Amino acid sequence: HFAPRRDQQCRRRLASKSEAMPEWAPSSWQSKPALQMAEWEDKALASKVLDKLGKLPPLVQASEADRLKQLLAEAGRGERFIVQGGDCAERFMDCEADRLETQLKLILQMGAIVEHVADRPTVRIARIAGQYGKPRSKPTEVVEGYGEIMSFKGDNINGYDPKDRKWDPERLLQGYFHSAATLNFLRSYTAAADPADSLSIKVDGLKASKDFAEISKDAGAIRTKAKGKESQEFFTSHEAMQLDLEEALTRKVGNKYYNLSAHLVWIGDRTRQIDGAHLEYFRGIANPIGVKVGPSMKNDELKELLQILNPNKEEGRIMIITRYGAGKVEQLLPGHIQAVKESGIPVVWQCDAVHGNGIVAASNKYKTRRCEDIVKEVMEVMAVHKRCGSILGGIHLEVTGQETVTECLGGCMGITEKQLETNYETYCDPRLNYAQSIEAAFSVAREAKRARTA
């Protein structure tokens, strides 16, 4: 009998917040507490770097971000499906033509699989050209032989080698130029590439699958019908964590402000505090935005967050990226769906099926994930959305186009704990390799088709 009173209190708080919302500026986040940000020892150097970044040309166009927002609105209505994926954290050393091409091809191919099998147009978003930072649970860590040193926070903050752990603002400039080089290559590649080549799916790694004959047939059909530049369209995204960097790459276009470092940026589960700096920054930019929502998100808190970030109830503006873990969906997602319904604010639901499924291999202590858990979480999320009358708009995975990477367990390749040691590349979280990613895309596409026709 206390619930109605709590709901009334929440509504009053939301109303007072929306009425009292102060003027926004790209720098207004600085008045709020900010988590997960690197602090610069050399303030003069940091100021010089950020001033330079503020004068460099934007990496993307506002009109492209607006188009993505329209496509996300379609996904929110069930007319399109989002395939988002890429590295946990990009590395400067991977800014090479071959690696970038294989990474983009994988995202395009995963989109094409869903489009062909589920018979639904897709929007393809890569974690690329800016996903250089990573949140850490502590700012320092103890490394044998070095003692307590700064934690590795991604290539645009410091180096992975223990000798390079000082937080260095000049790396922000390196991050910008690596992003620019990446985008330049990917744009020119998609402009020149034959769609039949970029959508030529390699199925050799899936021979152990019970569905191999069907997969081979679908892959052939996808290649045969590949044509037109729309199949090559992609968008960029990253977690906007280092807000001084994001502010420097924010530009006024007309009467709106856009973060023109990427088409879509998202707030991590560790930085989405209601009165925090990240929500303050995100509420003022016109880009489509994402918010990671994990088990710690309270239902009332979600309503409040939506009111701050999308008070005008704009379709395609905000993507709720749920990340619970397989087996936890039923306990958490229905309450979040109900909270969104009660808010009256349109959202695009996306399933991050990797971040809630991290484990440590018992035999060798490698951080890993099971392919089966990843697919299972997507299936559980689809089932709950169907039952609750809401729509799953897409998936969000950490993947690599590299065929020989061994970071996640299982899949029809049957990667074992011992095999993790063969080619464990990541400096951050484990990624599905090429074959595991393609297998996951086929599994999700088949389930999406079943869910629509059932």
Q: Parallel, antiparallel, or unpaired for β 358-360 and 140-143?
A: unpaired
Report residue 77's pLDDT band, with 50, 70 and 90 as the boundaries. Answer: very high
Do 73 and 82 form a contact (C-beta atoms < 8 A)? no
Burial class (CB in 10 A: 0-12, 13-18, 19+), 145: exposed
Q: Report the distance separating Cα 221 and Cα 196, nearest Å.
A: 10
The total of other beta-carbon atoms located within 10 Å of residue 203's CB is 18
Question: What residues are paired with 415 via a beta bridge?
Answer: 410
Task: State which amino acid sits at residue 20.
Answer: A
Q: Of 37-46, 97-106, 133-142, 380-389, where does mean pLDDT reach its minimum?
A: 133-142
Q: Parallel, antiparallel, or unpaired for β 235-239 and 81-86?
A: unpaired
Q: What is the pLDDT of residue 1?
A: 36
Q: What is the pLDDT of residue 3?
A: 44
Q: Report the distance separating Cα 354 and Cα 351, nearest Å.
A: 9
Q: What is the pLDDT of residue 8?
A: 55
Do 440 and 432 form a contact (C-beta atoms < 8 A)? yes
Q: pTM for the whole thing?
A: 0.95
Q: What percent of the chain has pLDDT over 70?
A: 96
In the structure encoding, which two tokens stand for residue 189, read together?
């590649």
- Single out the residue of 69, 88, 104 nearest to residue 430, CA to CA: 88
For 275-288, how does the pLDDT look when each residue is reduced to its tens digit (9 = 90+)? 999 999 999 999 99
Q: What is the pLDDT of residue 227?
A: 83
Phi, psi of 360 (to 5 degrees): -115, 125
Residues in contact with 310: Cβ distance below 8 Å, sequence separation at least 6, in sequence order:
317, 318, 345, 346, 347
